[in-house]
């Protein structure tokens, strides 16, 4: 079924290329339960919601007209209604029908890009259901304290992640001129290491270069090249939990794990016992950890340090995803980490669980 759906997208794109491009878009909606209030068409940019267009709804209907430079994922928000409706906007006549009671069931037609996006998501539905099933299994194992089962579920998660990445890379390679492919690559860039991102950006058609998605991908590649394995670590200074400035360079001479985490990040908190054990076993041999928190609430940050017994150095500027060190190192998902040698050259990235322990055992057994 997945291959049939992915294959049908080729026909969609061919027919779209043969059709004349309209001057702009018309978006008409008929939504039962829609309040007579503002309908907002918004786009996510730089961590903020930007309103592209807005109109008043009346009698459960609305109509917007405008123009987009290139197809892009946007979101419709209805004042007085919780949630939003994703729609891949392009210059076309687009219709939307449904109910405010079930925004996820709203039907959208007229946008070839949106059809392509929904077909991709439908092809991935079975995989996403497996993620949900594993999450429930993990919750039950955690509540019962079954560490062995939790570890087995984590391994299954890794296999699903690999499958998800492979499917996405295949889709992108088969649709190099698709704005949807560029959107998926940018939105999921946290999943990919530098080598894969270089392949993805190289495979995308130059016709997409004006898209913000491609610009963002190329910018991320540039950042990751600067912090790739073998590169010297870039220094930064940030306040610790007592308000004192701490520099990365002050740890020169030690093997240093720079750990990006946050109190609100459940996977980070689940990883913390592994870090505690590694710190206990290797600290005396020359291993240090510098925790860089992406928290924005100081009390939550300090409470998590105490609850998880994290006895190493911690810094934060309490700027959430705008954390200065996170931006330097291209961090857009946590937990994340980099391992530095005593000369502060990057020797590994994103080592977790047993992988980190094995790497440290190899280092300190030499």
Q: Are 37 and 56 in contact (CB under 8 A)?
A: yes
Q: What number does CATH give the domain 11-110?
A: 2.60.40.10
Instruction: Assess whether the region 11-110 and the region 237-364 belong to the same CATH fold.
Output: no
Q: Which residue has the higher pLDDT, 26 or 48?
A: 26
Taking the alpha carbons of 289, 290, 294, 297 in that order, is the dihedral positive or negative?
positive
177 C-beta neighbours (distance < 10 Å), count: 13
Q: Report the mean per-residue pLDDT for the chain.
A: 91
Domain ranges of the chain: 11-110, 123-226, 237-364
CA-CA distance, 160 to 146, in Å (whole number)? 21
Give the CATH architecture of domain 237-364: 3-Layer(aba) Sandwich (3.40)
CA-CA distance, 363 to 347, in Å (whole number)? 11
Q: Is 45 left (phi over 0), alpha (psi -120 to 50) or beta?
A: beta
5 pLDDT tier (thresholds 50, 70, 90):
very low
Quick check: 340 pLDDT over 60?
Answer: yes
pTM over 0.75: yes
Task: Calculate what percentage of the chain has a pLDDT beyond 90.
Answer: 81
Give the pLDDT of residue 22: 60
Quick check: 10 pLDDT over 50?
Answer: no
DSSP-based three-state secondary structure for 37 = coil
Element (DSSP H or E) covering residue 346 = strand 346-349
CA distances for 182 relative to 87, 197, 204, 365, angstroms: 15, 11, 7, 45
CA-CA distance, 111 to 22, in Å (whole number)? 12
DSSP-based three-state secondary structure for 241 = coil
CA-CA distance, 104 to 159, in Å (whole number)? 28
CA-CA distance, 158 to 166, in Å (whole number)? 12
pLDDT tens digit string along 221-278? 999 999 999 999 999 999 999 999 999 999 999 999 999 999 999 889 989 999 999 9
1 pLDDT tier (thresholds 50, 70, 90):
very low
Q: What single-letter DSSP state applies at residue 310?
A: -
């Amino acid at each position: 079924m997945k291959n049939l759906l992915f294959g049908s997208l080729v026909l969609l794109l061919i027919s779209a290329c043969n059709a004349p491009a309209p001057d702009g878009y018309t978006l008409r909606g008929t939504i039962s339960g829609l309040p007579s209030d503002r309908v907002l068409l918004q786009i996510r940019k730089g961590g903020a919601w930007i309103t592209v267009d807005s109109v008043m709804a009346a009698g459960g209907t609305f109509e917007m007209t405008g123009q987009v430079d290139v197809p892009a994922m946007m979101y419709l928000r209805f004042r007085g209604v919780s949630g939003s409706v994703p729609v891949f906007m392009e210059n076309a006549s687009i219709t939307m029908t449904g109910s405010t009671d079930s925004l996820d069931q709203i039907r959208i037609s007229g946008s070839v890009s949106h059809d392509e996006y929904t077909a991709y998501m439908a092809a991935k539905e079975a995989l996403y259901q497996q993620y949900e099933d594993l999450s429930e299994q993990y919750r039950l194992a955690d509540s019962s304290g079954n560490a062995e089962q939790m570890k087995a579920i984590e391994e299954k998660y890794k296999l699903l992640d690999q499958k998800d990445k492979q499917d996405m890379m295949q889709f992108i390679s088969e649709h190099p001129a698709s704005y949807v492919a560029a959107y998926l690559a940018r939105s999921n860039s946290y999943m990919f290491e530098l080598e894969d991102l270089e392949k993805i950006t190289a495979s995308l058609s130059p016709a997409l270069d004006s898209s913000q998605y491609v610009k963002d991908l190329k910018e991320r590649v540039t950042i990751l090249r600067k912090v790739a394995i073998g590169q010297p670590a870039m220094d930064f200074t940030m306040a610790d939990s007592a308000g004192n400035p701490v520099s990365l360079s002050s740890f020169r001479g030690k093997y240093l794990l720079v750990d990006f985490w946050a109190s609100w990040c459940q996977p980070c908190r689940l990883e913390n016992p592994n870090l505690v054990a590694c710190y206990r076993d290797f600290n005396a041999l020359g291993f240090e950890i510098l925790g860089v928190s992406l928290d924005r609430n100081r009390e939550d940050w300090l409470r998590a340090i105490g609850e998880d017994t994290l006895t190493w150095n911690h810094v934060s500027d309490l700027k959430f995803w705008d954390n200065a060190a996170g931006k330097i190192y291209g961090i857009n998902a946590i937990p994340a980490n980099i391992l530095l040698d005593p000369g502060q050259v990057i020797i590994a990235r994103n080592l977790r669980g047993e992988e980190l322990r094995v790497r440290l055992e190899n280092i300190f057994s030499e």
